[in-house]
Amino acid sequence: MENLESHFYNWFGVLFFIVLYSIALLFIPFYRKMDKKPAGTYIAFLIAFAIEMHGIPFSMYVISWIVGKNLPEGILWGHTLISEIGFWGMYINIGCAIVAMSLIINGWYNIYKKYWSKESGEGKLVMTGVYRYIRHPQYTGLLLLSFGMIAEWATLPMLILYPVMIGMYWRLAKREEQDMLKEFGDEYSEYMKATKMLIPFVI
């Protein structure tokens, strides 16, 4: 148990991971006030991840208190399925982070170059880069980034917040698409038919 707890109470580690994963939000545009609510949920998710991984294993204490006994690592706290797959959860998290940041930065780059930088004062529908396959790569990236955190260090608050975050970003994407339909009309309607919302070739 001492080895498992040796990395706790590392508040520098908590701050480091919060700052590191928050960088993704710098590449997410906030057009309206309502856009900030899903981002706030992501921050709450991130804080839960960082604190429970390097600060205090809050979920372990709560669950152990409820069931009356200590739970092995990987049961709603700590490395997910560590006894079955070793540290593959950590490798999955790293892989998800690389893919997620690629999606987020690629999406930001194409939007910045093609939509925000508009000389004529009119927006242009972006269908290049990752937008050839999905319409909301930055939201996909954030959700994938969060999934990777769960794969490495699943805790009760994260498992509760993740479906909430999915629902919030799904609704936000739907509202943004209504705005795009008003702005681009049939052009965006045809684009929707040719692409998926969040996952290429799936949904």
> Which tens digit of pLDDT belongs to each residue from 139-165?
999 999 999 998 888 888 888 999 999
Q: 168 in a domain, yes or no? A: yes
Looking at residue 1, its pLDDT comes to 44
Answer yes or no: is 200 within a domain: no
pLDDT digits (tens, 9 = 90+) for 34-58: 677 898 899 999 998 888 887 777 6
Q: Let me know if residue 87 belongs to a domain.
A: yes
Residue 45 belongs to a domain: yes
> What's the rounded mean pLDDT across residues 110-126?
71
In the block, which residue shows the tokens 């999606």? 103
Angle between helix axes 58-67 and 156-184 (nearest 10 degrees) is 120
The range of the structural domain enclosing residue 100 comes to 2-194
Q: Summarize pLDDT for 69-115 with one digit per residue, the tens.
A: 666 655 566 666 676 777 888 899 999 999 999 999 999 998 887 77
For residue 130, tell me if it sits in a domain. yes
Per-residue pLDDT for 193 more than 70?
A: yes
pLDDT at 2 over 50: no
Q: What is the mean pLDDT of residues 9-22?
A: 88
Residues 6 or more apart whose CB falls under 8 angstroms from that of 189 comprise 181
Q: Is residue 119 part of a domain?
A: yes
Total domains present in the chain? 1
The answer to whether position 68 is within a domain reads yes
Given a contact cutoff of 8 angstroms between Cβ atoms, the answer to whether 113 and 107 are in contact is no
Range among 5-14, 19-28, 64-73 with highest mean pLDDT value: 19-28
Q: How far apart are CA 64 and CA 48, in angstroms?
A: 18
Residue 48 confidence (pLDDT): 87
Residue 95's alpha-carbon distances to 12, 91, 131, 143, in angstroms, are: 24, 6, 21, 13
Listed residue (137, 162, 138, 166) closest to 151, CA to CA: 162
Q: Give pLDDT, residue 157.
A: 86
